[in-house]
A = this chain, B = another copy of it.
Amino acid sequence: MAKKYADLVKNAVGRMVPTEVNGQKQVPFQGVGKFKPETSKHGPKIVSCADFPEDGNKEVTSLKEALVKAGLKDGMTISTHHHFRNGDLLANKIFDIAKELGVKDLRWVPSASFPCHEHLIQYLEDGTIHHIEGSMNGPLGRFASYGKMRGLGVLRSHGGRYQAIQDGEVKIDIAIIGAACADPFGNANGLYGSSASGLLGFALADSQYADKVIVVTDNMVPFPCIPWQIQGNYVDYTVQVDQVGIPEKIVSGTTQITKSPDRLLLAEMTAQLCWEAGIIRDGFSFQSGAGGTSLAVGDYFAKIMRKEGIKARFARGGSNKYLVSMLEEGLIEYILDGQTFDLKGVQSMADNPNHVWTSPFTSYNYHGKGNFAGLVDVVILGATEVDVNFNANVVTHSDGLLLHGIGGWQNCLFSKTVILPIPLFRDRIPVILDEVTTICGPGELIDVIVTERGIAINPKRKDLIEALKDSTLPIKTIEELKDEAEKICGKPAKANFDDELVAVIKWVDGTIIDSVRKVKP
């Protein structure tokens, strides 16, 4: 097996990053928009209809049979998607089968992993899985953070994952795509059935570029499965199983607007700022996430829009019942959705042609001829830490533990205005620091930090500063905010790191923006 990594060099944001990771050459981050690859997209092997069933029926009797037919063997790269979130039943089964077959050293490339995948730690330990490239939320992140994974973790944004697969940086041998609904030819969607999750965009690149593609469903319908969010023309085998996901863990149904007065304040200030800056205007567009604060921002937006008679051209989802009700009320013309967070979202996507399913290709891929993240007027995001240069962190905590994925966060930074409403401190640990533990997004792309004790606008955004010069909002410098946090909580302790690297953070163009070090136990 290749060395975990080699030869650290300093990149354009001053972080030490390896020039080689798990045996593959790497490019250090060179600045936003600076790296231009001179190569071509991955061209998968040409296949022929002559090698597929004449009647289009690609069904095999079990996932094991499909994996064996797909040629599962040592060292292969296996991909899965995370539309089933913490209710996923497939990934664990795949590696149970690999273990049973005695296959070793697999590289797992999920679009994200969740606490339900803690089951896989035994396979990281016994050599079935060599390492994970993809977000490691919770237990797997903790495992990696303590230096227990043999290979180096590679974290990518949703767009960066599409880019890496498209560009051939990650060559997938076998993609396993769980689907709420599919037909025997392999057409699939996430809209219908007991495991409905809305859409399958995170598996699009896998279907297009993997060598072998397996679609697994608990709801097989006769051809054609419409809409074919995944096209059977990319699929090798189909499998019926009893259950692909646990419904109540797929769409939690518990996503609610925050009731915390502090967070409601953050949300109200954010909405007020957007209104005063002229961002909320007829035909505008926005994205706010699924967290309690973000939902509250959307709600304040709705109030302003209703009062002022303003209509948004589109909202970017993660969708939920609040966004759907704005669509139905006519406050939004379109939802361009990447994932649905509750059953209202799933239902609306199935029924309303203006609730559009998208993919990381259309929304986020940086190695395309543009993507629509850049067309969104304002995006509301979170962060675990921000520094005085507006650099932000979303993957590690201040104790250094790698506990979160990047999601679409990096990709959304290309929105016209990026606002992070965050508390000034959490558990008496300041959130605004001299230097973030891990840089996930360069400060030049982050425009506004909204805290309960003041708002900092990036000095680069002279237009915003000008627009808000007469505002009654508590606008301060980011240094003032940092000082205030330290006055209350004291200077924060540094994480207790070992020298060894455990993971790297990719930028949207495939370069490495930062490394994550091992945490001393």
Scan residues 13-52 of chain A and give those whose CB is less than 8 A from a CB of chain B.
32-52
Contacts of A40 in B (CB 8 A): 43-46
**Docked complex Cα distance between A41 and B233 (Å):** 14
Q: Which of B39, B336, B370, B509 contacts A224 (CB 8 A)?
A: B336
Whether A226 contacts B356 by the Cβ 8 Å rule is yes
Q: Residue A55 at the B interface, CB < 8 A?
A: yes
Contacts of A185 in B (CB 8 A): 370, 372, 375
Query: In whole Å, how far is A35's beta carbon from the nearest beta carbon of chain B?
Result: 8
Q: Which of B38, B186, B374, B509 contacts A369 (CB 8 A)?
A: B186
Among the listed stretches A67-75, A322-330, A360-368, A447-455, which one makes contact with chain B, having 4 or more residues with CB under 8 Å of it? A360-368
Whether B334 contacts A372 by the Cβ 8 Å rule is no
**Docked complex Cα distance between A41 and B45 (Å):** 6
Whether A43 contacts B46 by the Cβ 8 Å rule is no
Scan residues 43-89 of chain A and give those whose CB is less than 8 A from a CB of chain B.
43-56, 58
Q: Which of B34, B186, B231 contacts A361 (CB 8 A)?
A: B231
Main SS class of interface, A: loop
Contacts of A367 in B (CB 8 A): 46-49
Q: Residue A409 at the B interface, CB < 8 A?
A: no
Known interface pairs A39-B46, A43-B43, A223-B313; A52-B369 also in contact (CB < 8 Å): yes
**Docked complex Cα distance between A88 and B130 (Å):** 56
Q: Residue A484 at the B interface, CB < 8 A?
A: no
Whether B49 contacts A374 by the Cβ 8 Å rule is yes
A38, A48, A55, A375: residue with the most chain B Cβ atoms closer than 10 Å: A48
**Docked complex Cα distance between A369 and B509 (Å):** 30
Whether B37 contacts A46 by the Cβ 8 Å rule is yes
Scan residues 161-210 of chain A and give those whose CB is less than 8 A from a CB of chain B.
166-168, 185-186
Contacts of A47 in B (CB 8 A): 367-369
Whether B235 contacts A362 by the Cβ 8 Å rule is no
Q: Which of B42, B48, B213, B362 contacts A228 (CB 8 A)?
A: B362
Scan residues 353-410 of chain A and give those whose CB is less than 8 A from a CB of chain B.
353-354, 356, 361-362, 365-372, 374-375
Whether B313 contacts A374 by the Cβ 8 Å rule is no
- Count residues on chain A whose CB falls below 8 Å from chain B CBs: 67
Q: Residue A234 at the B interface, CB < 8 A?
A: yes
Q: Residue A286 at the B interface, CB < 8 A?
A: no
Nearest B residue (CB) for A510: B46
Whether A370 contacts B46 by the Cβ 8 Å rule is no
Whether B370 contacts A53 by the Cβ 8 Å rule is yes
**Docked complex Cα distance between A222 and B332 (Å):** 14
Nearest B residue (CB) for A52: B370
Scoring A residues 205 to 231 as 1 if CB is less than 8 Å from chain B, else 0, what string do you get? Answer: 000000001000000001110111001
Query: In whole Å, how far is A350's beta carbon from the nearest beta carbon of chain B?
Result: 9
Query: In whole Å, how far is A49's beta carbon from the nearest beta carbon of chain B?
Result: 5
**Docked complex Cα distance between A37 and B46 (Å):** 7
Query: In whole Å, how far is A133's beta carbon from the nearest beta carbon of chain B?
Result: 19
Known interface pairs A356-B226, A368-B234; A36-B58 also in contact (CB < 8 Å): no
Nearest B residue (CB) for A313: B222
**Docked complex Cα distance between A34 and B50 (Å):** 8
Q: Residue A102 at the B interface, CB < 8 A?
A: no
Scan residues 103-143 of chain A and give those whose CB is less than 8 A from a CB of chain B.
none
Whether B55 contacts A375 by the Cβ 8 Å rule is yes
Q: Residue A236 at the B interface, CB < 8 A?
A: yes
Known interface pairs A185-B375, A226-B334, A362-B228; A370-B41 also in contact (CB < 8 Å): no
Whether A361 contacts B226 by the Cβ 8 Å rule is no
**Docked complex Cα distance between A233 and B416 (Å):** 18
Whether B369 contacts A236 by the Cβ 8 Å rule is yes
Q: Residue A314 at the B interface, CB < 8 A?
A: yes
Q: Which of B33, B283, B353 contacts A222 (CB 8 A)?
A: B283
Whether B354 contacts A49 by the Cβ 8 Å rule is no
**Docked complex Cα distance between A261 and B32 (Å):** 71
Known interface pairs A231-B361, A233-B361, A362-B231; A372-B223 also in contact (CB < 8 Å): yes
Scan residues 279-315 of chain A and give those whose CB is less than 8 A from a CB of chain B.
283, 313-314
Nearest B residue (CB) for A185: B370
Interface CB pairs A-B, < 8 A, 11: A33-B48, A40-B43, A41-B46, A42-B43, A47-B367, A52-B370, A54-B414, A223-B313, A223-B372, A233-B362, A234-B368
Q: A residues within 8 Å of B by Cβ?
A: 32-56, 58, 166-168, 185-186, 213, 222-224, 226-228, 231-236, 283, 313-314, 334, 336, 353-354, 356, 361-362, 365-372, 374-375, 414, 416, 509
Q: Apart from A49-B414, A52-B370, what are 7 other A-B pairs with CB-CB below 8 Å?
A: A33-B48, A33-B49, A56-B375, A186-B370, A213-B369, A231-B361, A353-B353
The 4 closest A-B pairs by CB, nearest first: A33-B50, A43-B43, A40-B43, A233-B368
